[in-house]
């Protein structure tokens, strides 16, 4: 009886082992089947161009084609625009009392759109601080490697039109805090701005033209309450309590950001003259021939000048 029980026990233990021995081949097949099913699901999830850009979509064609569907804004970025320098100038279209005047510059950056991994579009902020103009010199590589441009934003590519353009959703980007296209951190510290109130922040409008895109947003920030101390010395030094912040606890700005396409080939740099009211940037120029670095302040109008000439010439022909 004991022998019979022992044999039954051995058979019971060997069955799972036999089953387990057969599982690897079956598991591989299941994995392949699951993988194909997952790929099919992903293909079904991928939206087509016609799913996002419908008959009810308002489309504006320009430097960047802008699509508006209800409260969503899409940028259709052409492949020819990737890697191009774009000047982003943000101005206060409307300012609260005591925080400047409408039309004043709030921020200025040079940006580039570029394709990233995992179906992403990046916005890089290009900092022209240290430059080396001669690409044949070894020092040029050293300067480039020591001045990596930061990635300010990343967008999921929703639709890719082969050899034409990519479609991305920019709604949340412009409705949230982004330092590249908004007021600067020093401005926020000066006026004691705190959290961006998303329920009172929205896109007013986006318009596109042949060489520029105009984005107007309304942004509302909460502020640090003013000090209850009657003495001026007790307040936070270097800060200003705005009337709107004291009365309502929040401050609202209306900002306008201009994205201006710069030419592929920049014009010859010219030294800045303070008597001319034009943008200027300071550079540190590295050169192997000089064996030293040289600091210069250059005018930024050179990049626009050829395009402005062409625009005036076209306008003259039209007239």
The tokens 């430097």 sit on which residue? 63
Of the pLDDT bands very low, low, confident and very high (cuts 50, 70, 90), residue 127 is confident
pTM above 0.95, yes or no: no
Residue 308, CA distances (Å) to 85, 213, 298 in order: 17, 16, 19
**Minimum mean pLDDT range among 153-162, 178-187, 242-251, 310-319:** 310-319
155 vs 167: CA distance, rounded Å:
9
319 vs 317: CA distance, rounded Å:
5
**Domain spans of the chain, in order of start:** 49-227+245-262, 267-319
CA angle 110, 299, 109 (to 5 degrees): 15
Pull the structure tokens for residue 288: 């192997």
Strand ranges in 262-308 using DSSP code E only, listed in sequence order: 280-287, 292-299
* Under 8 Å between Cβ of 89 and 260: yes
Number of helices (H) and strands (E) in the chain: give both, helices first.
Answer: 7, 15
Residue 116's pLDDT is 94
Task: Convert the pLDDT of each residue in 207-216 to its tens digit.
Answer: 999 999 999 9
Q: How many CB atoms lie within 10 A of CB 86?
A: 22
Whether the per-residue pLDDT at 200 is higher than 50: the answer is yes
């Amino acid at each position: 009886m004991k022998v019979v029980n022992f044999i039954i026990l051995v058979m019971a233990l060997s069955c799972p082992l036999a089953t387990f021995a057969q599982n690897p081949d079956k598991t591989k097949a299941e994995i392949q089947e699951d993988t194909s099913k997952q790929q099919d699901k992903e293909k079904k999830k991928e939206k087509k161009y016609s799913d996002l850009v419908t008959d009810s979509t308002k489309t504006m064609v320009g430097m960047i084609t802008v699509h508006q569907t209800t409260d969503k804004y899409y940028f259709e970025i052409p492949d020819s625009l990737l890697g191009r320098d774009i000047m982003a100038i943000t101005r206060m279209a409307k300012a609260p009392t005591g925080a400047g005047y409408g039309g004043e510059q709030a921020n200025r950056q040079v940006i580039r759109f570029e394709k990233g991994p995992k179906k992403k579009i990046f916005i890089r902020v290009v900092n022209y601080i240290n430059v080396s103009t001669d690409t044949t010199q070894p020092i040029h590589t050293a300067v480039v490697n020591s001045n990596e441009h930061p990635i300010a934003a990343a967008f999921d590519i929703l639709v890719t039109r082969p050899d034409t353009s990519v479609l991305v959703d920019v709604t949340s980007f412009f409705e949230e805090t982004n330092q590249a296209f908004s007021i600067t951190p020093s401005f926020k510290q000066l006026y004691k701005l705190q959290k961006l109130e998303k329920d009172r922040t929205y896109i007013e409008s986006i318009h596109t033209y042949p060489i520029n895109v105009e984005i107007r947003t309304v942004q509302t920030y909460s502020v640090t309450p003013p000090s209850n101390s009657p003495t001026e010395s007790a307040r936070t030094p270097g800060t200003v309590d705005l009337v709107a912040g004291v009365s309502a606890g929040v401050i609202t700005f209306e900002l306008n950001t201009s994205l201006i396409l710069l030419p592929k080939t920049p014009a010859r740099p010219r030294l800045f003259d303070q008597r001319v009211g034009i943008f200027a940037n300071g550079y540190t120029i590295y050169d192997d021939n000089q064996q030293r670095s040289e600091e210069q302040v250059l005018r930024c109008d050179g990049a626009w000048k050829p395009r402005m000439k062409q625009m005036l010439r076209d306008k003259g022909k039209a007239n």
